[in-house]
Amino acid sequence: MLALLLRATIAGAATGFETNQFQNIQREPDAVSVVTESGAFDLHPEAKGLWSAGNVKVRFRSKGNGLAITLTAPGTAMKSLQMRWQANLTPDWKYLGDAWERAYGDLEWKPLDAKRIMPWYFLASDGRLTHGSL
Domain count, the chain: 1
Report pLDDT for 9: 36
Which parts of the chain have pLDDT scores under 70? Answer: 1-23, 99-103, 133-134
Q: Domain containing 52: what range? A: 2-133
Report pLDDT for 21: 60
Q: What is the DSSP string of 36-72?
A: ETTEEEEEEEEETTEEEETTEEEEEEEETTEEEEEEE
Is residue 84 within 8 A of residue 53, CB to CB? The reply is no
Other Cβ atoms less than 10 A from the Cβ of 56: the count is 20
Is residue 53 within 8 A of residue 42, CB to CB? The reply is yes
Report pLDDT for 22: 64
Report pLDDT for 35: 93
